[in-house]
Structures are given as C-alpha cells and as structure tokens.
Amino acid sequence: LDAVSVRSIAAPTIELIANNGFETGTLSSWTYCNPNSAISAGAVMQNSDSFQCMGYTDQAQSGSYFYYDGAVGNCDYLIQMFSTIVGQTYTISYWLYNQGSAHPSSADVIISI
C-alpha cells in the first residue's frame, strides 16, 4: 500500500492524509489494528529492504517506503481519521499491489462518516 490520498475537489492541493506514503518510515498518523492476531502482520518497509516473493519484487509505488501486509488467517487493518466539510466532494485514491498467492486474497476499503 502506498500513496494514500484524500483531497477535496474544492482544494485539490491540500492532502488530508498524514504520512500518506509512509515516508516517515513508521506508521505515525496511522493506527494499526490486529484484533484477531493475524499471522504475518504488516509493517512499513523501505525499498532497500525489498525482497523477492513469488518472482515479484515488493517496493514502493513512489518514494522510498511502503506498507507491506501479508496477514494470514485473520484480517488486520490500518485506520486514519481526517476531517471533512459537509457538502464537499472528495477524491480518494491509493496504490495497492497484490502479488497473488496460492490462496484467495482480498483488500477492502471502508469509509465511515
């Protein structure tokens, strides 16, 4: 996961997500949740720490850092809260790479207001 972005159509130059590319090298501004003890929990990775898995090299879409998740058995997730203005329209985007596996995998995006 990389380049998470939420921007108002009215102010498209203002990014509402802090540490949206994980460039701090940490999960600062994010809350990591692993309520059911998923195995192989996620972490922020640096391109220089990338590794080969199933013939693919995992790395950031932009910048030097990205969030790598490989939860097995149960779901884990990241949360970040941000303020919006009633009546405004927002653009939400992110880069998510799924290298595939021998088992079905999925990614869900949930937005609560």
What would the DSSP string read from start to end of 19-77?
A: TTT-TTSS-TT-EEE-TT--BS--EEEEGGG--EETTEE---SSSSEEEE---BSS--E
Can you give the pLDDT at residue 12? 96
Can you give the pLDDT at residue 35? 85
Q: Which residues of the chain have pLDDT under 70?
A: 49-57, 99-105
Q: Domain ranges in the chain?
A: 2-95
Can you give the pLDDT at residue 2? 92
Can you give the pLDDT at residue 18? 98
Task: Burial-class residue 85 by CB neighbours within 10 Å (0-12, 13-18, 19+).
Answer: exposed
| Residue percentage of the chain with pLDDT more than 70 | 85
Mean pLDDT, the chain, whole residue set: 84
